[in-house]
Amino acid sequence: MAKKEELIDFEAELENFQPSLDINGVGEAIVRQDLTDMSDIMLEIMKQMKNG
């Protein structure tokens, strides 16, 4: 006898969904890292221009 498959109630799942706190902070960390990288690049360019 085949087992009856139950469908997921997406509406109920969405109502119960709570985003992970770790994931929410990732975007800010990535942006900060990118800004640090860009500032490092700019500092290096300025240093090279100064030293000729």
- What distance in Å separates the CA atoms of residue 39 and residue 52, rounded to the nearest whole number? 20
What pLDDT shows up at residue 2?
Answer: 63
pLDDT of residue 1: 58
pLDDT of 14 reads 92
User: What is the Cα–Cα distance from 37 to 30, expressed in whole angstroms?
Assistant: 10
Can you give the pLDDT of all 52 residues of the chain as single tens digits?
Answer: 566 778 999 999 999 998 776 776 777 777 776 677 888 888 999 999 999 7
d(CA 18, CA 9): 16
